[in-house]
Amino acid sequence: MNKFILLFSQSYTNKLKAKSFLITTLIMLAGIACFFMWPTISSWFSSDDKPMTVAVSDQTNAQAATYFHSSKQIKFTPTTRSVHQEEQRIVKGKTDALLVLSLDQKGALQAELKTKNPLQLTDQQMLEEQTRAANQLFTIQQLNLSAEQAQKIMNQKIELHQKVLTKHAENGKTSGQKSTATLVSYAVAFIIYLFVLSYLSIISSEIAAEKDSRIMEIIISSTSPVTHLLSRVFGTLALAMTQFIVLIGGALLMARAFQDGKYWDMVSNLLSELTLGYIVFAILFFFLACLLYTLVGAVLGSLVNKVQDVGQAVMPVTMLLMVGFLSQSAE
C-alpha cells in the first residue's frame, strides 16, 4: 500500500503542477466566464444604432396595431400610407420593415412582414413573439371578454400528473421532470466525452512512454505491475476529478455572482426537478464511466510499443463513444 500511495502521489502531483494542466484549466474557466457574461460582452460589440423601425399597416378596421408594443430593439409605428408607399420607403432605407395586418374569411388575424433584406435571427424571433402575443390579445378582444377574464386566460396553466396503476410501481414523472432528467443525461454524456478526449490519450501516452524508459525497470523490480498500473490509473482519474471539481465549483460561483443570480436560480430550479436518487445515480455513472475509460486507456497504452502509436490505438474507443453519444442524441 505504501508503494501504491507513493506512485499515486508522484503521478498526481506531477500532472497537477504541469503548466499544460494549469493553462488548460484557466482557459476553461475563462470560457465559462465568457458564457455567463455573454449578454454583457455582446453589448460591447453591438452597435449604437437606433432600434429597428417597423411600420404597421392595419387593414383590419379593429385597431389590431395597438397590440404591438415597442421595445429597445423594435419600434412599431402605425402608418396611414399605402402599402406601395411604405415599400418604397423600405427600399430607400427610411423604414426597416413593414407589417401588414389583415383578416381572413373567418375573421382570424393575418400578418405579413416585408423587408429589404432577410432579418437576423434574433430580430425575426422577437417579431414572431410580438405577433403571437398580439394575435392572442386580438382574439380575446374579439370574444368581448373583460380584462380580468383575459388575464385569467393568459395566466392559466395546468400540469398533467401521471399515476401508474400497476402494483409496486411508482407514479409517473411529469414532463418537466423527464425533460430535466434528459437534459442532465445529455450533460453527463457530454462531460464523459470530453473526459475521454482529454485524459484517455494522457494515460495511454504515459504508460507507453514508460515502456521506453529505463526507470521502468527499476519500478517493476521494486513493485508489482498491477500496483504500478493502478497507481497511474487512479492518479490520472484523481487529476480529472480535481479539474472537474474546480470547473464545476467555478461555474456555480459565477452563476451566483453574474447577472444578479439569474443563472443560479435556473440551476436551482433545474435541480429541484430531479430526485436525490437520480442525482446519486448520475454522479456514480459518471465516476464509473471515467474509471472504465481510464483503465481502457492504460491497457491500450501498455499494448503499443511506441508513443507515436497511441493515437491510433485509442481511436476505436473514441469512435465507439462518439457513436453511443450520437445514437443517444438521435433518440
Enclosing H/E stretch for 176: helix 175-195
CA distance 38 to 283: 29
Residues 320 and 191 in one domain: yes
Over residues 65-74, the pLDDT tens digits come to: 888 888 878 8
Where does residue 144 fall: left (phi above 0), alpha (psi -120 to 50 degrees), or beta otherwise? Answer: left
Cell 459518471: give the residue. 286
d(CA 331, CA 327): 7
Same domain for 313 and 210, yes or no, is yes
Is 184 found in the same domain as 129?
no
- Same domain as 124, residue 72: yes
The domain of 183 spans: 2-34+175-330
Quote the pLDDT of residue 26: 92
Strands 109-115 and 97-103: antiparallel
- Residue 57, helix vs strand vs coil: strand
pLDDT at 110: 86
pLDDT score recorded for residue 136: 81
Annotate 265-292 with b (16+ C-beta within 10 A) or e (fewer): eeeeeeeebeeeebeeebeeebeebbee
Cell of 10: 508522484
Give a yes or no: residue 46 inside a domain: no
Same domain as 212, residue 134: no
200 and 106 together in one domain: no
pLDDT digits (tens, 9 = 90+) for 186-224: 777 778 777 777 788 788 887 777 766 666 556 666 677
Domain count of the chain?
A: 2
Q: Contact 240/195 with Cβ under 8 angstroms? A: yes
CA dist 305 to 74, 195, 196, 310, Å?
64, 24, 21, 9
Return the pLDDT at 147: 62
- 8 Å CB contact between 80 and 65: no
Domain presence at residue 157: no
Low-confidence residues of the chain: pLDDT under 50: 169-171
